[in-house]
Each structure stands twice: as structure tokens, then as C-alpha cells.
Structure 1
Amino acid sequence: MTSMVSKFFARRFLQSSAGLVFGKEDPYHEEIPQDELGRKKKGSKRKRQVPPGLSQNDAKVLTEVRRRAYRLDQSLGFWCCGIGIGWNAIIIFIPGIGAAIAACLSYNVVQAANKIDGGLPNWLYTEMMANVSFDFGISLVPLLGSIASVLYKANSRNLLLLEKYLKERGQSNIANGNFAH
């Protein structure tokens, strides 16, 4: 049974971290569309825009979650082996309590996301908490677990989940005429 559980989490970690770590989906920046490039070269990036069709509160919450996740996962301004380093990378290495502090900070990101209009749906809240729990679990393993936790970037994953959900909600609002901007 333990073997099956470990295989499940290892598969999940390896599949989903490949896109996040190796640049397939950047949760903080987007490529500037061809028609908006102007003098900038092709492939230039900008901060991700708030998806259209969201309420003012949802846009505010998404911006706040993006800011918190960035601080925890990539804000320190240096890259190690192509991977951005944030405050979680420092906190996680505090002996004894680092994993617990990092988990509490990640939980705060989920709670901030839960402030969207109507709150998070149960399935999304559960998936976000699973990311936080998995990150906490692997960070309990001395040294290698801490490194794996830095690579896993639970906050960035949760940001991508929230943004995808809000993007779909915004498109639905526009299609139903529920949005006046």
C-alpha cells in the first residue's frame, strides 16, 4: 500500500513539475501577443494580465494570491539551475520548524484564494490543500525533501489552479452577459 501511494505522488510530482520548472507555463508572466509587440522583440514577456469578465473582488483576490505566491516561490531575484528561488526556499531549511512555517504560509495563500466571490469550490479547495499537504510531507525529509519542496512550488501550482478557474468563470460571465466593465 505504501508503495502505491509513493508511486502516485512521485508520478504526480514529476508530471506536473516538469511544466512548471522547465518553463512550459510561467504563472507570473505571459508572452506579449504579436499584435502588441511594437518595438519589443518576439518572445518578450510581461506580467500576466487579469482575465476579462471577473468581478472587482475576484480580480483583487487573484492579484493578491499572485503577489503572495511570487514572494514565496520566486521573489529573491536569483535563479539556481534555472529555478527561481523565493522565501520558502530559505524558510524550509530552518531546522525543526521550517517545514511547518512554510506550510502555514502556503495555507495562508489558499485562504487568500478562498476570498473570491462565493469562495472556492470544494474540489478546487481540496486540490489546493493537497498541494500544500504534499509539499509539507516531502519537506519533512531532511535535505533532499527540502530541495524537492523548493522544486515543487506548491504556491505557484495553486496560483495556476486559481487562475484557470477564474479564467473559466470570467468567460462564462461574459457569455452570459453577467459582466459589465
Structure 2
Amino acid sequence: MATAVGKVAAKKLLGKQMSKYSSKQVAGDKDPYFAYVENPRTGKLKKVKKQVPDYIPEHDALILAKVRKQAYRYDMALFNVAGVRFGWSSAIGLIPWIGDCADVGMAINVYRLCNKVNCKLDSKTKRKMQMWILADGLIGLVPIVGDFCDAAIKCNTQNLRLLELRLDEMYMPEDMKRARGMKVNGEKEKGGRTQQQYQPATVYEDFSDEDQERRAVEEPPPEYRPRKEDSTRQRKPKKSNPYVRY
């Protein structure tokens, strides 16, 4: 029950943001909001939403949703230059010194939020996140070119991916891990295509699914819908004329 509640809360948190940016293209396989998956009916790629899976507990599901929201806002929410997406972190970083400090401050806030998960980040994951923040700060010191490279590496999105991998490691059921070629209880990681076609801590949802859910809420069930005869006024029967033969 708690996991279901967590998924609903996380979906509600991200819903407005996904609708706001639904017109934007998918920014690679680490895009916090959207992904391209193959349509089994047509064989073509289709754009879908990335939702939090049921196996992640409520508290950590909400943390993941918040990190995704911040990562998208800081790294991808604004504009595109030469194929590189800019967010608020990259744009503010264009301001010398002050912007670079604000950029690093945003990255540290995302890192602190990641550390609030109940499963706890292991030391290896923490070191990797800290290295991304350090690289983000050093590269941003180089005027113009450094800011462009900063936007390309997307420190917050990289740390989001590390959080997703940690959540999968701690919460994903073992049978699902085996199906995806992941490491289970000391077993060797199989790798291969099955692991690459799934993104961590993610289930996919079609845009049409959301429309159907919204219509199901907006439209009452058949037994509560007014009948045609109820919605139209019944005509009064004409009075019979005694002088006319029928």
C-alpha cells in the first residue's frame, strides 16, 4: 500500500512539470522526464513519460521525483544551442564568478536531496556524485567554453542517474534484476541488450494513458450519466378534439 501511495504522490508531483515540457525533445537516455521506446506494433520509436516504479517505497519515491524535477529544471528546461540543452544552472553559470558559485550551490542542493533517501547512498556513489560536482565547478570557471561544456555534461542529471542505480540496487526484486541482466547477490552481471533497453528506477507511461485516466475521472460511469429522455423535455400530449374523428 505504501509503495502505491508513493507512486501516486510522485506522479502528482511530476505531472504538471511533464505537461509543461511535453513539447520538448527527449534529451538522451538520461532525460529525467521522457524517453524513446520502440512501439511493438509499428517498430518505430515513440516518446513516453518516465514514472517511478511501484517497488520503490513511498519516501524514496518522493525523493526521486523531487530530484528528477530539480535535475530537469537545472539542466534542460530552457533552450537548445547547437544540440546542447541549457537549464537554469547552465544559464546562471554564464554570469562570471557569481553565476559559477550559484551553479555549484544548485548541484550541492541536489546532492543533499539525494542523501535523504532511506536506503542511504553507499560511499562509492557519494564519491562519484562529489566528483561530478567538483568537475562542474572547475569547468564552469572557464569563460564561455567552460559554461558550454558545463551544460553538456549536466552534473545534476549525472547524479540523478547514480541515485536511480542505487534505488534499483536496493529495492528492485531479484527476479526483475535477473530478467534485466543485473547483478543479484554476488552473481555476475550478465549485461547485454536486456540491461541496456531499460532505464533504472523507471517505468514507462504513454501520453495517451494519461488522457484515458483523465477522461475516466472526468466522465461519470454509465449508471450516473443522464439518459436522453431525462435531458430533454417531455412533450405534453395533445388534447383530443371531440369534433375531429380519429
Q: TM-score, normalised by structure 1?
A: 0.74
Match for residue 12 of structure 1? none
Q: Equivalences for 1:94-133 in 2 at 5 Å?
A: 94-133=95-134
Q: Of the two structures, which has the highest relative contact order with CA contacts closer than 8 Å and spacing of 6 or more?
A: 1
Q: Which structure has the larger Rg? A: 2
**Is 2:168 the partner of 1:167?**
yes
Select which of 53, 65, 68 maps to 1:66. Answer: 68
Residue 34 of structure 1: how far off its partner (Å): 3.4
CA distance in 2, matches of 1:113, 1:127: 13
**Is 2:56 the partner of 1:54?**
yes
Contact 2:119 2:170 in 1 (8 A): no
Match for residue 31 of structure 1? 36
Report the RMSD for the aligned CA atoms in angstroms: 2.5
Residue 33 of structure 1: how far off its partner (Å): 5.6
Segments of 4+ moved more than 6 angstroms: none
1:16-56: CA deviation from partner (whole Å, max 9, x where unpaired): xxxxx983543432234635x7xx98311222121341111
Which structure shows the higher helix fraction? Answer: 1
CA distance in 2, matches of 1:42, 1:134: 37
Q: Structure 1 residues 128 and 160 mapped into 2: Cα distance closer, same or farther (>3 Å)?
A: same
Match for residue 93 of structure 2? 92
1:34-93: CA deviation from partner (whole Å, max 9, x where unpaired): 35x7xx9831122212134111111111000000000000011x3222222100121101
CA distance in 1, matches of 2:57, 2:116: 12
Contact 1:73 1:89 in 2 (8 A): yes
Contact 2:52 2:61 in 1 (8 A): yes
Seq. identity, %? 34
3-state SS of 1:95 partner: coil
3-state SS of 1:44 partner: strand
User: Relative to structure 2, which stretch is displaced further, 52-61 or 41-50?
Assistant: 41-50
Contact 2:92 2:102 in 1 (8 A): yes
Contact 2:67 2:160 in 1 (8 A): yes
CA distance in 1, matches of 2:106, 2:29: 26
3-state SS of 2:64 partner: helix
1:123-156: CA deviation from partner (whole Å, max 9, x where unpaired): 1111111101111011111222122111111011
Code of the aligned partner of 1:48: K
Match for residue 144 of structure 1? 145
Code of the aligned partner of 1:56: E
Match for residue 158 of structure 1? 159
Unaligned runs of 5+ in 2: 1-25, 177-246
CA distance in 1, matches of 2:66, 2:103: 18
Code of the aligned partner of 1:61: I
Contact 1:131 1:154 in 2 (8 A): yes
CA distance in 1, matches of 2:59, 2:27: 32
Contact 1:29 1:48 in 2 (8 A): yes
CA distance in 2, matches of 1:147, 1:169: 35
